[in-house]
Chains A and B, each alone.
Chain A
Amino acid sequence: MTDPNSNGQVPAGSPVGAPAAAPAHAAPPPRALPGSGETRRHVLVAVVLNKPGVLNRVSSLMRARNFNIDSLAVSHTDRDDVSRMTITLHGDDVAVEQAAKQLYRLIDVLKVQDVTSEPTVEHELALVKIRATESNRDEILRFVELSRGRVVDLVEGSVIAEVTGTESEIDTFVSLVRTYGIKELVRTGAVVMARGSSSIEEAVKK
């Protein structure tokens, strides 16, 4: 530390205060950072007060805290004054827990739950406007039927199919009909509900 050639700097990595108990040759292991760093898709359910600006507060917080939302679906619940958001995002477990805790700090947020590891029903809805000709229309209709979708608009030159299901089911359908030409595609983002009799809306902050 007093090496005249070091220009006063302590060489990096030499512990100033290594305890007597630790063997001098053993550098301490680096402190673990929070989280595993392994990212996966998470689904958060947030029960919030149905007030102007709540969506803005949630999205602003996620942006400011550097969380990237994959999808966000929001609507009011059985109570007019309470809304429910389903947020899907990618991150490691600790980062997503941090996102949930940060959301919980918002005054208008009543409850946040990560339902990723729970048995849930998760669905989204897509409307797909598919280019159709005389020759392939029947084929398209059959695909829609096989995917348990339904045709909601049928005109010369195009078909609008409505399909619901999990994210990957809809991905599959979309890739299947892509060969015919997709003129328009809209997806709602996932909505999710835990299976069983427990209720996140009943378990809001007391």
Chain B
Amino acid sequence: MTTKTDTAKPPSPAARDRRNHVPGDGTASAAAVEQARKDMLHEARDLKRTRIGADVLCEALLRQGVDVFFSYPGGVILPLYDVLGDYPELRHVLVRHEQGGAHAADGYARVTGRVGVCMGTSGPGATNLVTGIGTALLDSVPMVAITGNVPAALIGKDAFQEIDINGITLPMTKHNYLVRDADDLPRVVAEAFHIARSGRPGPVHIDITKDALQQETKAEHPTDEDIVAGLPGFRPNLEGHGRQLKLAVNEIAAAKRPVILAGHGVLHAEAWDELKAFAEKTSIPVAWTLLGIGAMDETHPLAYGYMGMHGWKHVNRAIQSADLLIAIGMRFDDRVTGNVRTYAPYARIVHVDIDPAEIGKNVAVEVPIVGDAKRVLQALIRMVPGTPMDARTEYFDQLAEWKRDSEASSWHGSGAWRDGLLSADYVVERIGELSDHRATYVADVGQNQMWLARYTGFREPNQHVSSGGLGTMGFSVPAAMGAALGRPDRETWAITGDGGFQMTFQELMTLVQDRIPVKIALFDNKKLGMIRQWQEIIYGGNYHSAHLLGPDYLKLAEAFGIPAIKASTPAEVDDAIRFAQGIDGPALVWFEIAEEQNVFPMMPAGKGLSDLIEKWGGADE
């Protein structure tokens, strides 16, 4: 209770300070907060057009060669939308959810090798981007994500749609920025693109306050030299060390059963020609990781196959018996090695990676080489003595025998599974075949992803798009959207399960509105297939939440205005694929696949590559 004497007393200095922590009455910060609040409420458009921060952003994007970006408007990023009309060369794709925008930028980057760009507003717009940024980080995809933020004076005040997005993206980007001054924008945007694409690629986030977007500025754009000079802490090492290269050459000369492990780094470095030349000169078979798919044409005599948890048995066999692994641009992920203690027990390892932190992280290696895959391979090709195929006859005979054995035991037969519905691997194979193995194929996550990786038959680099590291369900449709815009010369297939599809199918409307011709292959087993498979094999058949209801997908597609067709038997598959291919625009094929088909072989988590499960309950998949 306040007594009369208390209120009568003049406020103590401490009490006055307490009241004044809310800036008031004539202080500079109070005026700034007031102005910012007013600006938030009244979007007064300046009719006399001066160059503002939003213009600088558009200019900077164009200077970086950006032709399309994926975004969603919101309160604090509206100053950008106010000027976008003046930059018709910048194509803006209005996504239906910022996560879709981030995945689209990701898909665009993966098929083009260029930096993908996505944007969102502050608060929920920014947090919705986060899954997409994380996906890009784990797969080292060059991306620049841009968000608006509340005016600088309101930062830290829990303003409407304010969240500390800089703090959120800090551990999941290669670098991030908060820009409060339009004069900083040219430098920051140029740095962001440089960082995103140089060395080991990755996502960079730029958070820009609303007042920085609105501020008038004369800031000039920096030159490439300025950018490099301004980043003294960022000097990726591209050339392999000469002594390490010599050691690698010695290892290769001594090896009897060598295997090349090609990863995503080969694609990032555009080193596929060098990989082929190196393999051919040394007569060493090439295996690839999930993200290394496309590093080598699968029909090449030295292309051996896809490794890892759901990789081909013959490939894992070759790795387990190898005496030398030459790992290029891959990171010995747990999905590739399984239990490290039993991984490739006879092999010495040469590890080439552009990121020094990847070397010795997951496995101990004999010869580390830090450098760009392309340049290291060029050097190795110069240095290694040639080895003809006949010098390894016994080895190649063994490899061929293993391959025959492995492929025979995984054959799907008629195309129908034992419940009479479609065998998923058959459908994937038909899609590959009917698109001449030349399309872009974008996987979702789970069984569909593994079937796609195993059975499509890839011929070219950057045809295969898949969320490998983060394993982001719902990736397929939005990423295919970006991939289709990045490579309009190729057909684009989104291969997705019914689970992942139901996570992000709002982007169907974006496909329609922006006329993006993605062909969607929906693999509907009315299940979360990989969950069901794990529950069957590892959790004793306790199928909690594996069963998934779905809508009538034909009606769904019709509601979106997308032509669709359903295929439930092998005889209908080819026609359905051709139907989708014949549509000028997006199309959907609803494949009713077997409900309980498993992906085999399978390496249970924590087990080794030699512990593959190939059958379950007597069923041959």
Contact = CB atoms under 8 A, between A and B. Distances in A.
Interface of A: 1, 7-10, 12-22, 28-35, 48-49, 53, 56-57, 60-61, 64, 94, 97-98, 101-102, 104-110, 204-206
20 contacts: A7-B616, A8-B616, A13-B611, A16-B612, A17-B320, A17-B402, A18-B321, A19-B321, A20-B398, A22-B346, A31-B344, A32-B364, A34-B361, A34-B362, A49-B233, A53-B170, A64-B171, A94-B360, A101-B359, A106-B175
A60 B172 CA distance: 10
Given A31-B363, A32-B364, A14 B171 contact: no
A34 B360 contact: yes
Contact of A105 (B346, B357, B402): B357
Interface in B588-621: 607-618
Contact of A98 (B171, B361, B608): B361
Majority secondary structure of chain A interface residues (helix, strand, loop or mixed): loop
Contact of B170 (A9, A14, A56, A102): A56
Interface stretch (B276-284, B335-343, B429-437, B564-572): B335-343
B394 to A, nearest CB: 8
Q: Which 5 A-B pairs have the closest CB atoms?
A: A28-B345, A17-B317, A8-B615, A17-B321, A101-B357
B618 A16 contact: no
Nearest to A56: B170
Contact of B346 (A28, A32, A48, A106): A28
Contacts of B346: 19, 22, 28
A35 B361 CA distance: 9
Contacts of B341: 30-31, 33
Interface of B: 166-167, 170-171, 174-175, 195, 231-235, 256-257, 313, 316-321, 323, 340-346, 355-357, 359-364, 398, 402, 607-618
B345 A17 contact: no
Contact of B232 (A9, A15, A97, A110): A110
Contact of A16 (B343, B356, B361, B610): B610
Nearest to B344: A31
Contacts, number: 120
B233 A205 contact: yes
A16 B357 contact: no
Nearest to B337: A31
Nearest to A63: B171
Given A31-B344, A107-B175, A8 B233 contact: no
A33 B614 contact: no
A73 to B, nearest CB: 20
B164 to A, nearest CB: 11
Given A19-B321, A28-B346, A60-B171, 8 more contacts: A15-B610, A19-B257, A28-B345, A48-B233, A94-B364, A97-B360, A107-B231, A108-B233
A57 B233 CA distance: 14
Contact of B364 (A9, A10, A34, A206): A34
B284 to A, nearest CB: 16
Contacts of A35: 364
Contacts of B166: 53
B360 A31 contact: no
Nearest to B191: A107
Contacts of A28: 345-346
B357 A104 contact: yes
Contact of A15 (B170, B256, B345, B359): B345
B620 to A, nearest CB: 9
B364 A105 contact: no
Contacts of A104: 356-357
Contact of B363 (A13, A21, A34, A102): A34
Contacts of A34: 360-364
A10 B610 contact: yes
A205 B343 contact: no
B357 A17 contact: no
B410 to A, nearest CB: 14
A1 B409 CA distance: 13
A8 B617 contact: yes
B235 A10 contact: no
Which of B232, B608, B618 neighbours the largest number of chain A CB atoms within 10 Å of its CB?
A: B232
Given A8-B614, A31-B341, A107 B320 contact: no
B618 to A, nearest CB: 7
